[in-house]
Structure 1
Amino acid sequence: MAQHAHGVRLSPPTWLTAGLRPQPAPVPWAAVARASVALSAPLAVGLAAGRPAYGALVSMGALSGVIGDTADAYRMRFFNIAVPQLFGAVGVTLGTLVYGRDWTAVAVLTLVALVSGMISSIGSVASVSGLLLLLNAVVGAGLPMPRPWWTAPLLLTAGGAVVLLLTLFGWPLRGGVPERAAVAASYRSVAAFVRAAGTPEHDERRQAVTQSLNASYDLLLAHRTRRHGRSPGLTRLIARLNALIPIVEAASAAKLRPARLGPLPEAWPAAVLALADSIEDGPRTGTAVPLDLPAPTGPSERALDQALRYAAAVGAEPAHAHAADPDRLGRPAAPWVRTRRAARAALLSGASWRYGLRLALCIGLAQVVVSVLPVPRSYWVALTVTFVLKPDFGSVFSRAVLRALGTAGGLLLAVPVLAEVPRGWWDVPTVAVLAALIPAFSAKGYAFQTAAITPVILLLSDLLNHQGFGLVLPRLYDSLIGCGIALVAGYLCWPESWHTRIGDRLADTVADASAYVALAFAGAPGQDRPARPVRRRRLYRDLSAVRSEFQRALTEPPPTGPRAAAWWPLVIAVERVVEATTATRVRVEHGEPAPPPGEVAALAADLAALAGALRTGTPLPRPDGDAAAEATRATGPDVLGPLRSEVRAACAIASPVLG
């Protein structure tokens, strides 16, 4: 290990090495087996029929399906695989029609890249669809495809259909299992949150709860509009997930218990775990889960007792009993309405156009390089740009670095395969082994996924262009060129890449927190305000998105990474403000005196002032909340003390950054 003269150890910067650490994730054995069969079986059929190129194309389509199979619920998996395959068929058709026409291919692929980039902002399925549209267009324009023109899209779509059939094979036996498992996992996450109340692990567990609830609601609400009220199982799961929200709020309030009382008794988290087990066991009704709860000793425990008993009662009631319940999160619009709105927003959004233009510029440059340089180049340059320049996939800079390193690692795997394995039937077991690595490595990180995918694509493309071992070094050069184009034309030339706009996003969230503080204490205690949980869930979802954006920015090189690091403590502080607001409201609902309206308004004004300072970059004015508290503190208990402390901490954190 190299060292400085004074003995200080030299090490790569964190932003460079963050993506090279494998993520702790279990091996998805079912996906491993599915990928192995889906990619090797078509190749075996093609060889048996004397059409190895046909088998290779079907396997390529299956590879796209394996990469896109990221959902848990079967209905979502159907859409995640089927819809992108249709876009991929259009892409390969366009690419095949311009194969060998250098400048026509440049124009067509540039236009396809613009469309692909713009539709990627509509949603997760649209993002994968845009990726396959461009990806297959690049492959069709760079590799010789079987004739007539419709052969390649038909074979690629057949490969996606193979993955789809293998994926949905267990639907009749396991229908509803992923949804129940997700809701049960959310309950278990909340149980850990209840157990951590008042301990140093509290904030970490709260973030885990937010992520788990987001995943569960996304899973259930994705098809709620179409089936709500008609599917008893789905209705019951939504009711039980909604019943979890009061438990989360009560657990937040438990953080404010006097320290002398210590952590909550184990009976409270054990009761939440019992509810989780009842959900995962199946949709049974008629008998409530027996709860052995201690006598509550304060407002927080009274809230927790009431929330747990309500959740147990919900689980025992028939599904139709909750069909007309007030919707805590707002019923989503119909799918076609959401799609139309998202498409309109994509067409009118400046960010959508900027990303589409960035991607189009980089793909156009990649195709120009392929057409102009006298050395033989391939579709791999544009392919690399396509994978690197995906904004919803992470940092462009770190992905370019990881792509180069992952490709180099994948080429090391490909060297013995292309050099020693004879083409023919030996390709079938080889592809079966290499394909099995894709799901296993994908869970570890992007560089590992790239290393697993690279040898599979090289082997399948060799069945189309028959270059053998000669593919290895050109593909490495092509990857480096593609990464260079993405870094220069897609990253460095765009100021928004290295001027983080995280302050604007955070300012919007702080403004929403200000509105939530005012809303939380509006009305008398006990008065139901459905807007409160709606606003709270949206706030936590927004904060989760801001947290993800921060974590992405932290992997960028200076100056973006250090700037994001400077704002990071404020993200945590705002999360604590929202939680303190909820906790105080819960305690007011269960016995604490209501806070003076003037003091609430002063705290909301302090947060609004913080949001304005974040947008303008101006110094913060003196907070008004302390003065309001001094004027009212003599009249009764300081109910808002914990919330005021969190607001004061957020302002103190922001002041040095704002100068």
Structure 2
Amino acid sequence: MAIQANRPYAGAATDHTADLARLQTRISALDADNATGGSTLVLKKILVNLRDITRRVGNIRRYFDESQAAAAPAPSRAAEHGQFVAHQEIELQALSQNLTMKSAVFRHAMRMMLACLVAFGVSHWLWRGQHSYWILMTVTIMLKPGFSLTRQRNIERISGTLAGGALGAAVLWLLPWTEVQFAVLVLFMVVAYSFQRTHYLVTVVFITAFLLILFSFLGLSYIGVVQERIVDTIMGCAIAFSAGYLLFPNWESDQLTDFMAAALRANLAYLRQLANRLAGRPLPANEYRLLRKDVYVSGANLAAAFQRMLAEPKSKQHRPTETHEFVVLNHILSSNIAALTATLREAAPAVPPFPPESRRALTSALANLHKSLTKIAPDKAGPAPELGPAEPVAANATDDKLLLEQLAFLQKVSGDIGKVTEVLSEKAKAL
């Protein structure tokens, strides 16, 4: 109720530690009593659920306690939050690195400059209309660093202009009253700018109709404005599309190797922290969160690059089936590592060292990922990872069959990633 009402919780905290300990004692006593002849497995699972519920309620309580303790976060917490934000220093070296044709930024700048020169020449000498600046404006808006986004924006721009021209003409023809047209004009303007950041197609449709109604108030023929708007848009889109395809193109398939290497490095570090946890060593919360962030960011970048590659011409797509398999396997691997790590983090502070079977599975998985990284990016692979010795803890634990199955699955997925990587690396060498 406090959460729903957004007010502080004033109830007294209840400590169930003693109650849970008594339940644990009684369940252990049932295990020692052979006369019962029953299994206490269900009772143990219920006890685990009760501990989990208690922990979750405690986390909710701590939220209220921390929010009441101080209105502003502590300096230490602010410093911790700064670790999760990417920082980029202003350096002259960054400028020099972008003054070469190897830089995607420099290539896009050259591409934009040449496309704008062509658009200016066309609008100034070949097609001089009342609003010929629309050609140059369309080029600057449509031409993007990536070909796939340029292609998508061109399609949305042309289709939106056609639909908006039809909508504006219909309003001017069916609603001849000036007051009604002005009301529609205001409505279209609000809709156009409301969707500018989210749905570009909707923005183009309504801003085109808005411009037609606006020019009709200035005494221009809306039929002529529609024709000029459509012709200028098509010409600008054609120049932008041709520049994106012919002038220093930046194909996604040429950059996928970097995204794959980043995903492999992130999963390799993620798997090593899982090995440290299984070895009985504590896992710092911030270190775990930073590793998890790197895995999520690298996986999202890889998936986005793959989707952009699919929007490019077929001749520029290199091994799309194997690349898709790599993306899927990478996601499966990171998801299973995250699930297993979260389970171990919620366990006791010190877990027993992993048995020989799990150690072999972890060693094999780490070796597979490192081998794949070496094939993708040999200069960024680094030394082969090794598992450190397990910390001395209580030796009363038995092998967990479920844990061994999960680790064996991680080993299998990493092996599959190695096979796909080998195919992709061979294709890259052939090119």
TM-score, with length taken from structure 1? 0.47
Distance 1:394 1:499, change over 3 A: closer
Provide the rounded CA distance (Å) in 2 between the counterparts of 1:439 and 1:580. Answer: 43
Q: 2:63 aligns with which of 311, 315, 325?
A: 315
Mapped pair 1:640 → 2:407: yes
Aligned residue in 2 for 1:518: 272
Aligned residue in 2 for 1:594: 353
Aligned residue in 2 for 1:527: 282
Task: Compute the displacement of 1:481 (Å).
Answer: 0.8
Q: Counterparts of 1:50-129 in structure 2 under 5 Å?
A: none
Aligned residue in 1 for 2:81: 331
Q: 1:354 aligns with which of 107, 120, 127?
A: 107
RMSD: 4.4
Q: Counterparts of 1:104-503 in structure 2 under 5 Å?
A: 279=3, 281-287=5-11, 297=45, 304-305=52-53, 308-319=56-67, 321=69, 323-324=73-74, 327=77, 330-332=80-82, 341=90, 345=94, 348-349=97-98, 350-376=103-129, 378-391=132-145, 395-418=149-172, 425-438=179-192, 445-460=199-214, 466=220, 468-497=222-251, 499-503=253-257
The question of whether the paired residues in 1 share the 8 Å contact of 2:142 and 2:150 is answered with yes
Distance 1:511 1:526, change over 3 A: closer
Task: Compute the displacement of 1:282 (Å).
Answer: 1.9
Provide the rounded CA distance (Å) in 1 between the counterparts of 2:193 and 2:12. Answer: 40
Provide the rounded CA distance (Å) in 2 between the counterparts of 1:347 and 1:281. Answer: 55
Distance 1:430 1:461, change over 3 A: same
Structure number with greater Rg is 2
The question of whether the paired residues in 1 share the 8 Å contact of 2:252 and 2:305 is answered with no
Aligned residue in 1 for 2:329: 573
The question of whether the paired residues in 1 share the 8 Å contact of 2:364 and 2:411 is answered with no
Aligned residue in 2 for 1:64: none
AA partner of residue 265 (structure 2): A
AA partner of residue 204 (structure 2): T
Provide the rounded CA distance (Å) in 1 between the counterparts of 2:4 and 2:124. Answer: 57
Distance 1:563 1:467, change over 3 A: farther
Distance 1:279 1:547, change over 3 A: farther
Aligned residue in 2 for 1:609: 371
The question of whether the paired residues in 2 share the 8 Å contact of 1:388 and 1:486 is answered with yes
Provide the rounded CA distance (Å) in 2 between the counterparts of 1:306 and 1:445. Answer: 44
Task: Compute the displacement of 1:570 (Å).
Answer: 1.6
Task: Compute the displacement of 1:465 (Å).
Answer: 8.4
Task: Compute the displacement of 1:419 (Å).
Answer: 5.2
Mapped pair 1:651 → 2:418: yes
The question of whether the paired residues in 1 share the 8 Å contact of 2:319 and 2:424 is answered with no
Task: Compute the displacement of 1:645 (Å).
Answer: 2.8
Task: Compute the displacement of 1:472 (Å).
Answer: 0.6
AA partner of residue 608 (structure 1): H
Q: Which structure exhibits the higher relative contact order, with contacts defined as CA atoms closer than 8 Å and separated by 6 or more residues? A: 1
Distance 1:392 1:491, change over 3 A: closer
Task: Please state whether the residue corresponding to 2:366 is helix, strand or coil.
Answer: helix
Provide the rounded CA distance (Å) in 1 between the counterparts of 2:145 and 2:49. Answer: 44
Provide the rounded CA distance (Å) in 1 between the counterparts of 2:162 and 2:183. Answer: 23
User: Which residues of structure 1 form unaligned runs of 5+?
Assistant: 1-276, 617-622, 626-634
TM-score, with length taken from structure 2? 0.69
The question of whether the paired residues in 2 share the 8 Å contact of 1:300 and 1:587 is answered with no
Provide the rounded CA distance (Å) in 1 between the counterparts of 2:330 and 2:420. Answer: 10
Provide the rounded CA distance (Å) in 2 between the counterparts of 1:504 and 1:298. Answer: 47
Provide the rounded CA distance (Å) in 2 between the counterparts of 1:575 and 1:334. Answer: 21
Aligned residue in 2 for 1:542: 298
The question of whether the paired residues in 2 share the 8 Å contact of 1:385 and 1:483 is answered with yes
Provide the rounded CA distance (Å) in 2 between the counterparts of 1:651 and 1:298. Answer: 41
Provide the rounded CA distance (Å) in 1 between the counterparts of 2:280 and 2:47. Answer: 13
Task: Compute the displacement of 1:389 (Å).
Answer: 2.0
Task: Please state whether the residue corresponding to 1:525 is helix, strand or coil.
Answer: coil
Deviations, residues 515-536 of structure 1 (Å, cap 9, x unaligned) = 2212333365362423111111
Deviations, residues 21-74 of structure 1 (Å, cap 9, x unaligned) = xxxxxxxxxxxxxxxxxxxxxxxxxxxxxxxxxxxxxxxxxxxxxxxxxxxxxx
AA partner of residue 317 (structure 1): D
> Aligned pair count?
367
Task: Please state whether the residue corresponding to 1:650 is helix, strand or coil.
Answer: helix
Q: Percent identity?
A: 20
Task: Compute the displacement of 1:575 (Å).
Answer: 2.0
Distance 1:333 1:575, change over 3 A: closer
User: Which residues of structure 2 form unaligned runs of 5+?
Assistant: 21-41, 379-383, 387-397, 427-431
Task: Please state whether the residue corresponding to 1:297 is helix, strand or coil.
Answer: helix
